[in-house]
Structure 1
Amino acid sequence: MSAIAISISKMNLKPGEAVVLSSAAILGVLSWFYPDRALFTEKRDIPNGKSYPIVGALPFIVAHKNKIHDLFRTGFSMTNTLNICNSVIGLPTIIITIDPRNIEHVLKYNFENYVKGPMLFDATEEVLGHGIFTSNGEAWKYQRKAASLIFNVRNFRDHFTALFIEHIDIAGKYHFDQAAERGSIVDFQDVMFRFTLDSFVKLGFGVSVGALQTKGKVAFAEAFDYSQRNSYERFINPAFKVTETLATLMMPWRRSPSYYFKVMDDFAYKIIRQRRQELSEGKEFKDLLSRFMTTKNESNESLNDEELRDVVMNFIIAGRDTTAQTLSWCFYCLMQHPRVEQKLLTEINALMTDEAEADPAVLHDVIKNMKYAHAVLYETLRLHGPVPANQKMALEDDVWPDGTLVKKNDYVMWSGWAQAREPRVWGVDCHDFRPERWLNQEGDLIRESQGKFIAFHAGPRVCLGQNLATLEALVAIVYFLRRYRFTLVPGYKVEYFASLTMPIKDGLRVQVERRSSPS
């Protein structure tokens, strides 16, 4: 660099010209040292995604942020491996994999070496805080242990199934029946978000939100959706603290992120204050919130309101968003594949009995035996998993099963969305919605490895609510499909909306007809 400076000084340039020329020369030298990766990152023996000198993948990611999962898929299609390496200026190296062996290694077999890193916490702090999704070690363990006591078979049979049916009836009364009578269009995804919000908040926190009966937008839901998108954008913007502040200063008429964070906090703290008041009056509860109110944290102290607030937010994103989005994508797929819809409806009508209609406990057992319904659900989760990508940070160097070297402080990411569309993982028909891939010749369900089917995560952090979410989704599929025929509005374009989860952009606009009788 000093040689460049001496050479420029001999040119008798004006100060401004010297600065420009010096900067260009320095950039030229840096580009020579970092031709395909971000500044100060190490060259890796892993194929790069699209990358530029000095700044790495940042420009390409920002330009394609609304189609980020397609970007991952394109990266894998350009290589002969199932791993790609991304470097972004200002961020650690990120290794992305869709190899089932590597994913299972990270999440299960070498679990202790991979943690939720600071990048995740920084991006989601105001949404998830120190809840179960962002915490590690003892903080994660006490939360998982407390929550696990709620998710038992007795609760499923005796309480949860009846609660889901109650809210399905409300959804029908206030949305689908009216749309069928009036011939109006309804946003199916919006109804599903309201259904799962009402169901899970009642189930987990003993509070009736009444989102299904509310006309217009639900303030909490709007704030929660905005905040998730904001968190997602922070992942691809190393300077988000600066840009968010500047945006607030330059556009004071717009609602800032802090406005939406406050809406969410007010919602959670209201639930917590109400429960503390009820407990002080001697009332007893056995739901998720009460379980945490009697739990000790990693310091062996009772949880304060801020810790309980994080509990509420983490379990709402788990209980509301994931199931609502899965149901939305499922019915979209059924509308696109009438053969599958008819085959599913035939199974449902064959197995449903008057006793099952009258007794939620019997219905619970009947649904467990609907194998094609399970296959439809699993195929939806394969193609449109509600958490399309996830990441962790390596504590120490590691070697993956395919020989890839991961270094300390590397971030590793796995993309279920890209993996589902990879012929080397799921076969040449991977893009097809084909539930039959989940059934063997005898008609029994096939169980894939956790590294290949990662909709419910894997290893010690496998989804606690897997059985609950499966039950809720299947009950909703059975009841909505038996009662209604949904048709996508002609010409309506359906695509994903890039966020922490996988909603449908602009909702799912459908027309509704009541089914006069099982068919």
Structure 2
Amino acid sequence: MLPGALLNLHRLHEYGTQVLIESGGTFEFKGPWFCNLDMLVTCDPANIHHIFSKNFSNYPKGPEFRKIFEILGDGIFNADYELWELHRKTTLSLMSRPKFYSFLEKTIWDKIETGLLPVLENVYEKQIDVDLQDIFQRLSFDSICVLVLEYDPKSLSIDLPYVPCEKAFSVAIEPLLHRHIIPETIWKVQKWLKIGNEKKLIEAGKAFDEFFYPRVSLEGEQDGDLNLLKAFTKAYKGSSRERLVDFLRDTSLSLVFAGRDTTSTSLTWFFWLIAINPLAEIKILEEIESKLHVKKGDKWRFFNIEESHKLVYLHGALCETLRLFPPVALEHKAPIRSDILPSGHYLHENKKVIFSFYSVGRMETVWGKDCLEFKPERWITERGRIKHEPSYKFPAFNAGPRTCLGKEMAFIQMKMVAATILYHYKIQRVEGHPVSPRDSIILQAKHGLRVRLSKRT
């Protein structure tokens, strides 16, 4: 089956979805016997629930996952057991402090006021088109760096400066996907020779090191009770592990990776879906005016986190975006003991299991015959509240004990950014510009999202 996969590398997510639909949601992939590529691919919610929740302890990330994502080192994405618990406990304790969300709110609005709005106004005045995906990546990168490192790289400035680390994230995610498909011996040879995709990963790793090491070398000794590096320094020393600076590099890299790419990718697809669904845009604008008490022509006011909870239709539109275009398109696990899945498939120990979160949202058996339609209403109850869906059916933020801790943060930031842009500007797609998912770990738009702006009147 390897030739078929290689022929469809340029449209891997769509190809995988097509195969999964034909296979009832679970498919056994067979590669050449000498390549160690046999794996089970699934988007069955019952399998997701079993592996991510019910039998969680049997499915750590494992050495295979760590090998593929070695660039992230000992960060939370690669961590298992005690190290994972240290990451989660430390991050959660910091995010649970009363001042954290005030700091988050201030950080986002500061970046919108000093970065996003001036850049968009400059684009509008010059009547040029702009890649919204690039804007959102810069915005998210700056914001998460302030939260994690207490440092603003100011990549979102009018001159749109080139920041190597910020761009390295987009470079790394495609080779990381290909490592799941290409035989290990081949990508290891490429790495040794420093050619192809592996050369890109090496260069990305160098950019990460040059950015993060100088900023974590103080070992988190900065002042402030919300300093993340300080909290991890204390936790790491307490666990008697060595190489503190390397650990802080891996930790901050993973958190910035999560904060930059997931939020920016979601906002990109949100504005693309809004552009092709004008009725949804009208409803969001009406909600902004009624719930935030602003009228057309009024001076825009920054709303707080509590007020953001009133934007129910916008929340539904964001959930619908995440259903159709989950930022983390796939996940990878392997059991440490043999297991039988709810779908009836047998897994021997260390059998690779690939979860296509992208495909889950496109299954009629999961979301109904209208699964490909953009319908924010499916997330709103008859009483006008947000409808909850279990994480194994809606795995945009992962599922089970490893559910993303930044879920609430992401919705807050996306609502603030989306409402601000929609209130000020009408987004028009550049005619003829292709928009399709990129074949990478993070579901970015392959060619970005080029748009023109016109003022709301």
Q: TM-score range by the shorter chain?
A: over 0.9
- Mapped partners of 2:176, 2:354: distance in 1: 16
Mapping for residues 322-361 of structure 1, pairs under 5 Å:
322-353=262-293
Mapping for residues 125-164 of structure 1, pairs under 5 Å:
125-126=70-71, 128-152=72-96, 154-155=98-99, 157-164=101-108
Does the aligned pair in 1 maintain the 2:51–2:59 contact within 8 Å? yes
Q: What letter matches 2:181 in structure 1?
A: I
Closer/same/farther in 2, CA of residues 401 and 482 from structure 1, 3 Å limit: same
1:390-418 Cα offsets, whole Å, 9 max, x none, are 11001111122233222211111211111
Q: What letter matches 1:119 in structure 2?
A: E
Q: What letter matches 1:186 in structure 2?
A: V
Q: What letter matches 1:191 in structure 2?
A: I
Residue 245 of structure 1, CA deviation: 3.2
Does the aligned pair in 1 maintain the 2:62–2:333 contact within 8 Å? yes
Mapping for residues 219-230 of structure 1, pairs under 5 Å:
219-230=164-175
Does the aligned pair in 1 maintain the 2:53–2:399 contact within 8 Å? yes
1:186-228 Cα offsets, whole Å, 9 max, x none, are 1101000000000010011101111012534321122222122
Gap regions ≥5 residues in structure 2: none
Q: What letter matches 2:160 in structure 1?
A: K
Does the aligned pair in 2 maintain the 1:489–1:510 contact within 8 Å? yes
Closer/same/farther in 2, CA of residues 87 and 310 from structure 1, 3 Å limit: same
- Mapped partners of 1:162, 1:372: distance in 2: 24
Mapping for residues 189-228 of structure 1, pairs under 5 Å:
189-213=133-157, 215-228=160-173
- Mapped partners of 2:397, 2:138: distance in 1: 22
Give 3-state SS (helix, strand or coil) of 1:511's partner: strand
Instruction: Pick from 1, 4, 7 the counterpart of residue 63 of structure 1.
Output: 7
Instruction: Pick from 240, 253, 268 the counterpart of residue 187 of structure 2.
Output: 240
1:25-65 Cα offsets, whole Å, 9 max, x none, are xxxxxxxxxxxxxxxxxxxxxxxxxx2xxxxxx22222211
Residue 443 of structure 1, CA deviation: 2.0
Q: Does 1:103 align with 2:57?
A: no
Closer/same/farther in 2, CA of residues 292 and 299 from structure 1, 3 Å limit: closer
Mapping for residues 120-519 of structure 1, pairs under 5 Å:
120-126=65-71, 128-152=72-96, 154-155=98-99, 157-213=101-157, 215-238=160-183, 239-246=186-193, 248=195, 257-273=201-217, 275-276=218-219, 279=221, 283-296=223-236, 299-301=239-241, 304-353=244-293, 363-516=304-457
- Mapped partners of 1:454, 1:61: distance in 2: 24
- Mapped partners of 2:116, 2:414: distance in 1: 16
Give 3-state SS (helix, strand or coil) of 1:84's partner: strand
Residue 67 of structure 1, CA deviation: 1.1
| Equivalent residues, number | 448
- Mapped partners of 1:117, 1:92: distance in 2: 16
Does the aligned pair in 1 maintain the 2:131–2:448 contact within 8 Å? yes
- Mapped partners of 1:484, 1:358: distance in 2: 12
Does the aligned pair in 2 maintain the 1:492–1:509 contact within 8 Å? yes
- Mapped partners of 2:173, 2:190: distance in 1: 17
- Mapped partners of 1:197, 1:76: distance in 2: 34
Q: What letter matches 2:253 in structure 1?
A: M
- Mapped partners of 1:381, 1:259: distance in 2: 30
User: Max radius of gyration: which structure?
Assistant: 1
1:147-186 Cα offsets, whole Å, 9 max, x none, are 1122237345422112111111233344210111121101
Q: What letter matches 1:329 in structure 2?
A: W
Mapping for residues 30-109 of structure 1, pairs under 5 Å:
51=1, 58-79=2-23, 81-89=24-32, 90-109=35-54
Note the aligned Cα RMSD (angstroms): 2.2
Residue 259 of structure 1, CA deviation: 2.8
Residue 303 of structure 1, CA deviation: 5.9
- Mapped partners of 2:16, 2:81: distance in 1: 30
Moved more, 91-100 or 309-318: 91-100
- Mapped partners of 2:26, 2:200: distance in 1: 37
- Mapped partners of 1:472, 1:173: distance in 2: 15
- Mapped partners of 2:203, 2:187: distance in 1: 17
Residue 76 of structure 1, CA deviation: 1.7
Moved more, 282-291 or 387-396: 282-291
Give 3-state SS (helix, strand or coil) of 2:76's partner: coil
Match of 1:16 in 2: none
Closer/same/farther in 2, CA of residues 337 and 156 from structure 1, 3 Å limit: farther
- Mapped partners of 2:135, 2:398: distance in 1: 26
Q: What letter matches 2:56 in structure 1?
A: F
Does the aligned pair in 1 maintain the 2:132–2:450 contact within 8 Å? yes
TM-score, length-normalised on structure 1?
Answer: 0.82
Residue 332 of structure 1, CA deviation: 0.7
Give 3-state SS (helix, strand or coil) of 1:150's partner: helix
Q: What letter matches 1:105 in structure 2?
A: H
- Mapped partners of 1:117, 1:184: distance in 2: 48
Residue 87 of structure 1, CA deviation: 2.1
Q: What letter matches 1:417 in structure 2?
A: Y
Residue 115 of structure 1, CA deviation: 1.3
- Mapped partners of 2:414, 2:96: distance in 1: 17
1:103-143 Cα offsets, whole Å, 9 max, x none, are 011000110011113222122212x1121101111111101
Residue 359 of structure 1, CA deviation: 8.5
Moved more, 469-478 or 299-308: 299-308
Q: What letter matches 2:189 in structure 1?
A: V
Closer/same/farther in 2, CA of residues 186 and 419 from structure 1, 3 Å limit: same
Does the aligned pair in 1 maintain the 2:155–2:161 contact within 8 Å? no
Does the aligned pair in 1 maintain the 2:172–2:200 contact within 8 Å? no
Residue 349 of structure 1, CA deviation: 1.1
